[in-house]
Amino acid sequence: MLELKLFEEARERLKGTIKETKLIYSDTFSQESENEIYLKPENLQVTGAFKIRGAFNKVSLLNEEQKQKGLIASSAGNHAQGVAYAANKLGVKATIVMPKATPLIKVEATKAYGANVVLAGEVYDEAYAEARRLQELHSYEFIHPFNDDEVIIGQGTIALEILEELPDADILMIPIGGGGLAAGIAQAAKQIKPSIKIIGVEPEGAQCMKEAIKAGKVVELPRVHTIADGAAVKVAGERSFELVRESVDEIVTVSDYELMNAFLVLLEKHKLSAENAGLLSIAGANKIKEKGKKIVCVLSGGNIDVLTISSMITKGLVSRGRIFSFSVDLTDKPGELVRISQTLANESANVIKLNHNQFKNLDRFTHVQLEVTVETNGEKHIENIKNALNKIGYEIVRLF
């Protein structure tokens, strides 16, 4: 186990560089989960994510000879910015290898901190392989995003802040990609409060740590498929796996659907945005069997581009039944469209899109197909609309 004093020393080292993000109580997530939910908003951190903690702690501990060689790191985005920021502040040259699919906002932010960015590979693991090749070629000092004690210790300073502010917390929910964040927080938290429960949260399409725990060793997933690009990791770190196995009590997984849902609620109720990987903890809060507990969910990052935000809002609205789209076949005669419109108005459904198409029905001389998209207030409201249309003789097909 990593000694508690190492986390305390790292916290002192990080003073003046990071923000001590304060907990936010969430009425909405508390009601949904039947627990007391607090958010640890690392999406508001310097560089927009928790990664600055581990990166700065690691880089500040390098000796002058190591710094002279220059640094290299591989990252899906947030570690990249953390290393670039730390290197810039400490006067060290940095090269960052990022997957080609990394959101542009993360690439540009990394460049803005003065790092040389190389785009390589489709997922993190391929970018990592290229970074290792460049390390050998140029004798750079490699800064691993999660399989390094100094990085893990830096991430674990989050636990010190949480338990100082909320010492009676019962459960910590922590996102897992490669495992460095969960390892650090769990190691520190268990020493401060041995009774605390630590739950890691992974995407269903990238559960490398859960599979490693099941196998009793690090395993490589054949593929990853998740909108949580920051946690799209095929292989957990050897070191982070050892520490997670030792101190994390449980790992749950969440679907992309659940991440979209969590995004919309966070944005609408708390006016906060988080990237998909950053949402893992709050999406996982509804998986908790215990009730009436004080739970802290770590929002690990908020680096998300505007186009993705737009897409997430739309998908989140659909997932919560706030947008309803359906098709219906109508006889091609005057008044049919009016009957549909009046029924929707009676049910307080606001029409946002309508397509009256004669050519989508084979019998276009007597029937037409109508596609309608409306704003709704949830699944119960959708059911009322469907029942009202059925009552006046229309059979509808839900599109989404």
CB 349 within 8 A of CB 389: no
Q: Which residue has the higher pLDDT, 319 or 343?
A: 343
Fold of the 321-398 domain? Alpha-Beta Plaits (3.30.70)
CATH class of domain segment(s) 51-142: alpha beta
Return the structure tokens found at 38: 């607090």
Global pTM value: 0.83
Domain residue limits, the chain: 4-49+148-318, 51-142, 321-398
Distance CA 175, CA 254 (A): 11
**Average pLDDT in the 346-374 region?**
78
**Residues recognised as catalytic:** 51, 300
Residue 329 in this model has a pLDDT that exceeds 90? no
Reported confidence tier of residue 309, pLDDT bands at 50, 70, 90: confident
According to the CATH classification, is domain 4-49+148-318 in 3.40.50.1100? yes
The helix/strand count (H/E) of the chain reads as 16, 14
CB 275 within 8 A of CB 304: yes
| SS3 category, 328 | strand
Residue 6: which of 154, 108, 148 has the closest Cα? 154
Return the structure tokens found at 7: 């986390």
Domain 4-49+148-318 identical in fold to domain 51-142: yes
Using one digit for the tens of pLDDT, what is the confidence trace for 106-154? Answer: 889 899 999 999 999 988 789 999 999 999 999 999 999 999 999 999 9
CB 189 within 8 A of CB 198: yes
Return the structure tokens found at 187: 């190691």
